[in-house]
């Protein structure tokens, strides 16, 4: 019994090996429409492909026929020496045409004899506007210009062409194109540039203090922009200057600000708090603001320490958990630009120095999305100097208008402020973009 079930597949295979069952007739009737529907898209695609090929060949043939039909005939003109030429203007008297003039055969290139010195008639450029019709028949000896006649020059050689008439519109001035004189190139350029800028600091000296400041200070969004003027010294070198406005700052995290402190202020000084930062010392000038440092014990100096005053017991209003320093400078750069590649997109190496004049110094906190003035940073240098190095890319829309993109690295040679035992040199990276106009 077990052996028979073990070979049950052989039993079915041997029993059904010669067994056939025909499908019902209506099955084929249902299959044929489906097959026809599936083949229809292939026929349509083939027809569309053939139509596209025919249209393409027709268009190519039409373009070739148009180009061949517009190829001008070639006129061969043999010129005589310049010394024997003279000009014909509207004031010259042209001899009349005689009816009995013997008609000569048209001169061809084979019949031209070099030893014969023909006369050359030159029409000056300033007299071309008087010509309204020209009739020239190859078999005649004379040509007609403005109802006047002149002997046809023998140096004209006609080859399979007949000039019937050349007409000009009434009051139309004909201008002969001339090669323009080579003038001075566009040497001056004015550009408007703007850039988002990333500022940070390079610390040296007291490593512990530098590490603490890096962890407690984060750069804010900064930007720079202005107008630049450049003068092109030669094909590759130019000097640039201008006026830029730069704004940057940093956030002092971990310093909580409260409002409503003025009723508890009994001191007669100008400030109640001072905060040590990498850019200088922040002095508060708003008596209604109370500061509390949650990260460090040596960053804020004040008479109102935690053991003297508790802002929670005084029910002071919470404002924010950080302070923000903001600085603005006017920059006067002197930059040299050297063009490495002069193509559709030009590449320039940019480098120079800038003097930066401090014009804004503010420290503020935020409350409900609005700024609240806290004080300012003391000890800042009014003038700082920075060096810059970058790569300029320039794409010209026209001969005068261009799009500029200039990634620039800037390093400040002297710090914003002096810190005892710690040297802090800021640096920044920005991508300037804008338009320039050459004149």
CB count, 10 Å around CB of 424?
Answer: 21
pLDDT at 410 over 60: yes
pLDDT at 427 over 80: yes
Percent of the chain with pLDDT over 90: 35
- What pLDDT was estimated at residue 210? 73
Higher pLDDT residue, 63 or 368? 368
Backbone phi, psi, residue 357, to 5°: -110, 125
CA gap 370, 286 in Å, rounded: 16
CA gap 277, 374 in Å, rounded: 15
Q: What angle do CA 249, 250, 255 make, to 5 degrees?
A: 140
- What pLDDT was estimated at residue 296? 83
- What pLDDT was estimated at residue 158? 41
3-state secondary structure of 265: coil
Cα dist. 114→107, 117, 141, 154 in Å?
Answer: 13, 7, 20, 11
**Which two structure tokens, joined as six digits, stand for 81?**
């020496």
- What pLDDT was estimated at residue 437? 95
CA gap 264, 288 in Å, rounded: 9
Mean pLDDT, residues 164-168 taken together: 44
- What pLDDT was estimated at residue 68? 61
CA gap 74, 160 in Å, rounded: 9
pLDDT digits (tens, 9 = 90+) for 168-189: 444 444 454 444 444 556 899 9
- What pLDDT was estimated at residue 324? 94
Mean pLDDT, residues 137-160 taken together: 48
Give the pTM.
Answer: 0.57
Q: What domains sit in the chain, N to C, each tagged with a CATH number?
A: 82-167 (no CATH), 188-438 (2.40.160.20)
- What pLDDT was estimated at residue 289? 93
Cα dist. 320→93, 215, 222, 273, 357 in Å?
Answer: 100, 19, 21, 16, 31
**Which two structure tokens, joined as six digits, stand for 188?**
């001056």
pLDDT digits (tens, 9 = 90+) for 71-97: 454 444 334 444 444 444 444 444 444
Kindly report the average pLDDT of the chain as a whole number.
75
**Which two structure tokens, joined as six digits, stand for 95?**
């001899």
Local confidence band at 5 (pLDDT 50, 70, 90 cut-offs): low
pLDDT digits (tens, 9 = 90+) for 24-74: 767 766 666 555 554 455 566 667 777 776 777 777 767 776 666 654 544
Strand-pair partners of 189: 230, 438
Cα dist. 175→72, 103, 125, 126 in Å?
Answer: 21, 35, 8, 9
- What pLDDT was estimated at residue 67? 65
3-state secondary structure of 109: coil
CB count, 10 Å around CB of 426?
Answer: 22
**Which two structure tokens, joined as six digits, stand for 208?**
């512990």
pLDDT digits (tens, 9 = 90+) for 211-270: 777 788 888 889 999 999 999 999 899 999 999 999 989 999 999 999 999 888 887 777
Cα dist. 327→53, 213, 221, 245, 382 in Å?
Answer: 68, 18, 12, 11, 11
For the ranges 133-137, 242-246, 331-335, the lowest mean pLDDT is seen at: 133-137
C-alpha closest to that of 215 among 172, 247, 252, 267: 252
pLDDT digits (tens, 9 = 90+) for 379-402: 888 999 999 999 999 999 998 999
- What pLDDT was estimated at residue 275? 93
3-state secondary structure of 216: helix
Local confidence band at 154 (pLDDT 50, 70, 90 cut-offs): very low
pLDDT at 290 over 90: yes
């Amino acid at each position: 019994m077990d052996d028979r079930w073990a070979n049950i597949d052989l039993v079915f295979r041997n029993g059904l090996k010669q067994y056939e069952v025909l499908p019902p007739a209506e099955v084929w009737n249902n299959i044929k429409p489906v097959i026809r529907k599936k083949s229809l898209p292939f026929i349509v695609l083939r027809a569309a492909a053939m139509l596209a090929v025919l249209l393409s060949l027709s268009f190519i043939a039409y373009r070739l026929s148009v180009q061949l039909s517009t190829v001008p005939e070639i006129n061969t003109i043999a010129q005589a020496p310049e010394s024997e030429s003279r000009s014909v203007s509207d004031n010259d008297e042209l001899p009349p045409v005689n009816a009995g003039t013997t008609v000569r055969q048209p001169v061809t290139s084979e019949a031209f004899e070099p030893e014969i010195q023909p006369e050359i008639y030159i029409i000056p450029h300033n007299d071309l506007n008087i010509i309204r019709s020209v009739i020239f028949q190859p078999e005649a000896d004379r040509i007609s210009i403005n109802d006047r006649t002149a002997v046809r020059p023998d140096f004209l050689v006609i080859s399979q062409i007949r000039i019937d008439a050349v007409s000009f519109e009434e009051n139309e001035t004909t201008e002969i194109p001339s090669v323009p004189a080579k003038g001075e190139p566009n040497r001056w350029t004015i550009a408007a540039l703007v850039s988002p800028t990333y500022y940070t600091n390079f610390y040296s000296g007291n490593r512990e203090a530098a590490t603490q400041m890096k962890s407690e200070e984060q750069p804010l969004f900064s930007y720079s922009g202005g107008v630049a003027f450049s003068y092109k010294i030669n094909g590759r070198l130019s000097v640039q200057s201008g006026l830029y406005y730069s704004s940057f700052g940093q956030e002092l995290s971990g310093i909580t600000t409260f409002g409503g402190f003025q009723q508890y202020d009994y001191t007669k000084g100008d400030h109640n708090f001072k905060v040590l930062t990498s850019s200088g010392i922040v002095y508060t000038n708003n008596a209604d603001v109370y500061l509390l440092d949650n990260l460090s014990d040596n960053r804020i100096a004040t008479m109102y320490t935690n053991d003297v005053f508790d802002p929670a017991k005084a029910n002071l209003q919470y404002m924010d958990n950080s302070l923000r320093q903001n600085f603005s400078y006017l920059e006067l750069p002197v930059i040299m630009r050297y063009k490495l590649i002069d193509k559709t997109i030009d590449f320039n190496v940019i480098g120079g120095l800038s003097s930066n004049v401090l014009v804004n110094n503010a420290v503020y906190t935020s409350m409900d999305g609005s700024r609240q003035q806290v004080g300012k940073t003391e000890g800042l240098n009014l003038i700082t100097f920075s060096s810059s190095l970058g790569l300029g890319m320039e794409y010209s829309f026209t001969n005068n208008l261009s799009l500029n993109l200039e990634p620039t690295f800037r390093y400040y040679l002297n710090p914003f402020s002096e810190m005892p035992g710690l040297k802090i040199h800021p640096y920044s990276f920005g991508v300037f973009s804008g338009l320039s106009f050459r004149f």
